Amino acid sequence: MHTKTIAQLAAGLRNGDFSSEELTRAYLDRIARYDDSLNSFITVSEEVALQQAHAADQRLKAGDSTALTGIPVAQKDIFCSDGVLTTCGSRMLENFVAPYSATVIEKFNAAGAVMLGKTNMDEFAMGSSNETSYYGPVRNPWNTDTVPGGSSGGSAAAVAARLAPAATGTDTGGSIRQPAGLCGITGLKPTYGRVSRYGMIAFASSLDQGGPLAQTAEDAAILLGTMAGFDTRDSTSIDEAVPDYTASLNADIKGLKIGLPQEYFNEGLDAGVGKAVEAAIEEYKKLGAKIVDISLPNSHLAVPAYYVVAPAECSSNLSRFDGARFGHRCETPRDLEDLYKRSRGEGFGPEVKRRIMIGTYALSAGYYDAYYLKAQKVRRLISDDFKQAFEKVDVIMGPTAPTVAFKLGEKKDDPITMYLSDIYTIAVNLAGLPGMSIPAGFVKQMPIGLQIIGNYFDEARLLNVAHRYQQVTDWHTHAPAGFE
């Protein structure tokens, strides 16, 4: 059963080929058998999963089911889940059992989905390799000596290893798309405001966005249909009707105008990755798409702008973790100042501390105009570049990451090199656009991703474009050795 897509599993449940409880036990068994080698889960919620599976079977018998009823899903450990440990990959929250559920979790529960557990992640979603987690690094199932990407690396590794048919992730600067690319699965970052952030522990509030990771674009369409929608509890949520994302999956893409930014095919791109992306573009030409050369002249400023804006927002968001209200609290503090200093010093890891310090500096009275305000102006320039490009093209394509997955520890002590892992994804978040990564081949036996960027709220087109490619290729069907 673990080789099937969500669409196939849903059909099997409806036909009575197997029950949700049988399906859930099969995935729980795979997690118990394989996850020691991957460390993709922080919490396995077996009791909750089996209760939900039993309830799903009752719904299926009654004919009161949705496309996700009875389907096991892994949730990134950044979404609060009522009564379940929610750590955000940090010591700061190692004992935090959420008293409520995020809107995303509520939507999955209402649909009758089954929560297998909470997946490992970079601490507070800060990282590109899933090595900053307090619970240890996640390993890429294609080669366990390499990283799965981050921050949603646990979700990506779990789906790639077929420990879950799908998982949720969050994307602040590429944290769904980059691990999807490095693990050879499909990952979608929706338009900012498309998916509610209520109950999603904040890193950078103007950039964070939840989205799905799955084997196929069809599965991602099913998942997004459940996750998307307006939420009055999230002030950044957009009141935009949610279409049936599966309805247009098979639409013809003849005449589709694909923009190729010259800035995405430069000396920083691994030659093998570049060739694989070019081969994917050729497949689109065979499907009748037209290629248009475009330029995103300010894209080279995305990384420096992001690493001012994101740390500034994280320094503000993480100020709530002070040892006084919830989360980690130091032992026997001498006074209030000692409580704050030691609780935060013990609770946060090195990368989180680094970004808090950078962000606090950028927001300080003497440097706000020089750094934060300037970064926001650059952000507008980057957004304008995309706006002009979408006057000429329907979608933009390029590599998801500049290289395949790198070795564990290879970049851990070099933050700048690590930050460049997201060089092709960050601009999408700064502009608030939707983007996705789909499997597009292998380089040195490791998967690579093709990134597809769309205009605002054009997720249906992205999913259609991705699905049409997956109908004529089989990269998305490959599973890593030992996890087939």
pLDDT-based confidence at residue 413 (cuts at 50, 70, 90) = confident
Q: Is 205 a catalytic residue?
A: no
As separate numbers, helices (DSSP H) first and strands (DSSP E) second, the chain gives 15, 11
Q: What is the pairing mode between strands 114-119 and 72-76?
A: parallel
pLDDT of 244 reads 97
Q: What dihedral do alpha carbons 408, 404, 267, 298 form, nearest 10°? A: -90
Owner of token pair 């970052």: 189
Q: Once rounded to an integer, what is the mean pLDDT over residues 276-305?
A: 97
The boundaries of the domain holding residue 143 are: 1-484
Amino acid occupying residue 477:
T
Q: Which of 40, 42, 92, 82 is nearest to 314 (CA)?
A: 92
Q: Is the pLDDT of residue 448 over 90?
A: yes
77-96 pLDDT, tens digit per residue, is 999 999 999 999 999 999 99
pLDDT of 22 reads 98
Peptide bond preceding 151: is omega within 30 degrees of 0, i.e. cis?
yes
pLDDT of 414 reads 84
307-321 pLDDT, tens digit per residue, is 999 999 999 999 999
State both tokens at 345: 């010093």
Residue 14 contacts residue 6 (beta carbons within 8 Å)? no
Could you give the CA distance from residue 106 to residue 127 in angstroms, rounded to a whole number? Answer: 27
The DSSP line for 136-163 is: ----BTTBTTB---SSSHHHHHHHHTTS
The DSSP line for 178-218 is: HHHHHHTSEEEEPPTTSB--TTB--S-TTT--EEEEESSHH
What is the edge-to-edge ordering of all strands in the sheet holding 166-170?
Answer: 41-44, 114-119, 72-76, 166-170, 210-214, 186-189, 435-443, 446-453, 395-399, 257-261, 290-294
Query: Cα 198 to chain center, whole Å?
Result: 16
Averaged confidence pLDDT in the chain = 96
pLDDT-based confidence at residue 13 (cuts at 50, 70, 90) = very high
Q: Is the pLDDT of residue 484 over 90?
A: no
Could you give the CA distance from residue 101 to residue 311 in angstroms, rounded to a whole number? Answer: 26
Q: What dihedral do alpha carbons 304, 373, 383, 465 form, nearest 10°? A: 60
31-58 pLDDT, tens digit per residue, is 999 999 999 999 999 999 999 999 999 9
Q: Once rounded to an integer, what is the mean pLDDT over residues 61-72?
A: 96
86-130 pLDDT, tens digit per residue, is 999 999 999 999 999 999 999 999 999 999 999 999 999 999 999
- What pTM was estimated for this model as a whole? 0.96
Q: Is 118 a catalytic residue?
A: no
Considering the candidates 76, 107, 411, 412, report the single residue annotated as catalytic: 76
Q: Which of 47, 42, 49 is nearest to 23 (CA)?
A: 49
pLDDT of 72 reads 98
pLDDT of 356 reads 96
Q: Is the pLDDT of residue 326 over 90?
A: no
Q: Is the pLDDT of residue 417 over 90?
A: no
Could you give the CA distance from residue 481 to residue 484 in angstroms, rounded to a whole number? Answer: 6
pLDDT of 169 reads 98
pLDDT of 415 reads 81
Q: Is 76 a catalytic residue?
A: yes
Considering the candidates 45, 81, 133, 151, report the single residue annotated as catalytic: 151
Owner of token pair 């970064």: 375
Considering the candidates 175, 237, 299, 421, report the single residue annotated as catalytic: 175
Helix (H) or strand (E) holding 321, with range, is none
Could you give the CA distance from residue 12 to residue 7 in angstroms, rounded to a whole number? Answer: 9
State both tokens at 171: 């994307």
State both tokens at 101: 């559920």
Q: Is the pLDDT of residue 412 over 90?
A: no
Could you give the CA distance from residue 471 to residue 474 in angstroms, rounded to a whole number? Answer: 8
Q: Name residues whose C-beta falls within 8 Å of residue 51's C-beta, 6 or more positions apart in sequence.
A: none
State both tokens at 379: 């952000």
pLDDT-based confidence at residue 416 (cuts at 50, 70, 90) = confident
pLDDT-based confidence at residue 6 (cuts at 50, 70, 90) = very high
Spell out where 52-123 has E strands.
72-76, 114-119
Residue 226 contacts residue 111 (beta carbons within 8 Å)? yes
Query: To the nearest whole percent, how much of the chain has pLDDT over 70?
Result: 100
Question: How many domains does the chain contain in total?
Answer: 1
State both tokens at 294: 């475009």
pLDDT of 400 reads 98
Q: Once rounded to an integer, what is the mean pLDDT over residues 57-85?
A: 97
Count of other CB atoms within 10 angstroms of residue 116: 30
Q: Is the pLDDT of residue 366 over 90?
A: no
Question: Is 166 buried (19+), middle (13-18) or exposed (0-12) by CB count in 10 A?
Answer: buried
CATH number of the domain bearing residue 363:
3.90.1300.10
Could you give the CA distance from residue 25 to residue 57 in angstroms, rounded to a whole number? Answer: 13
Could you give the CA distance from residue 166 to residue 139 in angstroms, rounded to a whole number? Answer: 18
233-272 pLDDT, tens digit per residue, is 999 999 999 999 999 999 999 999 999 999 999 888 999 9
Owner of token pair 């619970």: 135
